[in-house]
Structure 1
Amino acid sequence: MAAPLQICPPAPRWGGLWLALALLSFSLRAGGQNLPVLNASSLKFAPQHVVMSGYWLEVEHQRARHPQQSLTLTPQLYYGPTGRPDGARSANPLNEDESVRGFGVQGQHRFYVVPARAAFPAGLYVSYGPHFQHFLMTFHRSSWREIQGPGNLPYYEYGPVRFTEKIIRYGGSMQVGYQAPLPPGPVFIDLFMGLGWRQSHSNSAIEGRQYRSGSSNYGHQGFYFPAGVKIGVALSALRPRPSATM
């Protein structure tokens, strides 16, 4: 008699999270024998944030006593038009001339699970850490406004009125990525993706929140999926080598 057909159970919902935790646990047990002690530093730029008028510059520094670990610090500057994240224009069709000014910072602890030989930390990594952001959104919307008329008499005029919205956002994320050199120089590429959570608070003269249309918008809160690319240069490789003496 043929054996009954066995149906495999569905994959657990948290399978990806357990895999990330397993990689992190492995990285904690891994030694530094596969990666030379470089005490290297690098500088990276994340171009995908420019479409949101955001300029992210990340500094990574290898821990001297733990060569498979590094610390990253990413200051962020926002200045310019808001762009159209997640259909923000269709979500707020009445807003015009939208712009953003702001700043932020992100810090992460990185573990190179499968290190690669390079003049700086490279290979498959797992990282985690918090972030904080502050935005000042400015936009115009047609509304009634009081102005001074002849004889200093007030009257109402319907037209574009300037409004602002202040947003404070904070949270944290866990990421998996791969950092690899681009021969022949000290330039490298960093590809990553992950899972994060953030909380957002806003203050506006208009009822409702204007910038929560999706996970890429400035006022979004909840779970999100950070992903992208960074282009960097190894600062240690740019240092002049001491000349040989006779």
Structure 2
Amino acid sequence: MQVCTRGAWLAWGRWAGCLALVLLSWRAPAQAPRSWSLKFTPQHVVLSGYWLEVERTRSSHPNQTFTLGPQLYAGPTGRPDVGYDPSRLAFDETVRGAGLQAQHRFYLAAAGGQRAYPTGLYLGYGPQIQFFRLNFSRGWEWREEAGPGGLPYLVYTPVRHHETVLRLGVAGQVGYQLPLARRVLLDLYAGVGVRHSTYWSVFEASQYRSGPSDYAHQGIYFPAGFKLGVALR
């Protein structure tokens, strides 16, 4: 009986040891250090947009990353889709807004060598939400204002209007990330997505749906550009 008990304990010890080794080997990738990078997308500055992006690798899957990109809009409106139109008083159009974009990426190769961050070809997908408050002038009107001594006088001024836009979208991208220096990154990307936008205005039609780069655009669009970044860890 003691021999059987001793054999059972030895067998259990072997199985426990094997299980511990399997668990340790399975958990080992989870202890790999995560890499972080911070990027800036310069092409949106023409729309008074300032886009940042934080990218973090998954500790258990170094060829996968998650990105989170806050967006801020402040300044004159940029209208690349609109040519010169003398009927539009574009000189005083402004935008204020914010947005957030998230993405899940799959790199074809994990980080290697001396680099802790992934490089090379990747596929990504994710949603985006944006909110805009647009101020603009349409038409002219006579308005009474107080002059010197409190006397009223008439001035011919532009009529100010506002438009509020809420835009939701989702997109898929293919890109290539490469190092420019030890910690400096260049991220090139192109893709396809779809947007839906809702607007609130005194006009029946949105004043900002001239094309895919406009603030209230909805439908199919093709995001493309580049990002400059720095590896933080």
After TM superposition, is the score higher than 0.5?
A: yes
SS state at 2:46 partner: helix
The worse-fitting range, judged by mean Cα deviation, of 36-45 and 118-127 is: 36-45
Counterpart mapping for 1:1-246 below 5 A: 37-87=32-82, 89-90=84-85, 93-115=88-110, 117=112, 118-144=115-141, 147=144, 158-183=156-181, 185-236=182-233
**Residues of 1 paired with 2:83 and 2:217: CA distance?**
11
1:88·1:213 contact (CA, 8 Å) conserved in 2? no
**Residues of 2 paired with 1:71 and 1:115: CA distance?**
14
**Residues of 2 paired with 1:197 and 1:213: CA distance?**
16
2:37·2:231 contact (CA, 8 Å) conserved in 1? yes
Equivalent residue letter for 1:180: L
1:91·1:213 contact (CA, 8 Å) conserved in 2? no
**Residues of 2 paired with 1:206 and 1:214: CA distance?**
18
Equivalent residue letter for 2:161: F
The worse-fitting range, judged by mean Cα deviation, of 110-119 and 169-178 is: 110-119
TM-fit CA distance, 1:144: 3.1
1:110·1:125 contact (CA, 8 Å) conserved in 2? yes
TM-fit CA distance, 1:158: 4.7
Uncovered stretches (5+) of structure 1, i.e. residues with no partner: 1-35, 237-246
Equivalent residue letter for 1:159: T
**Matched residues, percent identical?**
53
From the superposition, tell whether residues 222 and 86 of structure 1 become closer, same or farther in structure 2 (CA, over 3 Å). same
The worse-fitting range, judged by mean Cα deviation, of 223-232 and 139-148 is: 139-148
**Residues of 2 paired with 1:91 and 1:196: CA distance?**
33
1:96·1:141 contact (CA, 8 Å) conserved in 2? no
Uncovered stretches (5+) of structure 2, i.e. residues with no partner: 1-30
Equivalent residue letter for 1:162: R
Equivalent residue letter for 2:176: Y
Aligned to 1:15: none
**TM-score (normalizing by structure 2):** 0.77
**Residues of 2 paired with 1:91 and 1:169: CA distance?**
28
The worse-fitting range, judged by mean Cα deviation, of 224-233 and 140-149 is: 140-149
SS state at 1:86 partner: coil
SS state at 2:108 partner: strand
Higher Rg of the two aligned structures: 2
**TM-score (normalizing by structure 1):** 0.73
The worse-fitting range, judged by mean Cα deviation, of 75-84 and 37-46 is: 37-46
**Residues of 2 paired with 1:116 and 1:90: CA distance?**
50
From the superposition, tell whether residues 169 and 92 of structure 1 become closer, same or farther in structure 2 (CA, over 3 Å). farther
Aligned to 1:243: none
SS state at 1:50 partner: helix
Equivalent residue letter for 1:46: T
From the superposition, tell whether residues 219 and 132 of structure 1 become closer, same or farther in structure 2 (CA, over 3 Å). same
How many residue pairs get aligned? The number is 198
**Residues of 1 paired with 2:229 and 2:32: CA distance?**
20
2:89·2:136 contact (CA, 8 Å) conserved in 1? no
**Residues of 2 paired with 1:55 and 1:214: CA distance?**
20
**Residues of 2 paired with 1:68 and 1:214: CA distance?**
36
Equivalent residue letter for 2:160: R
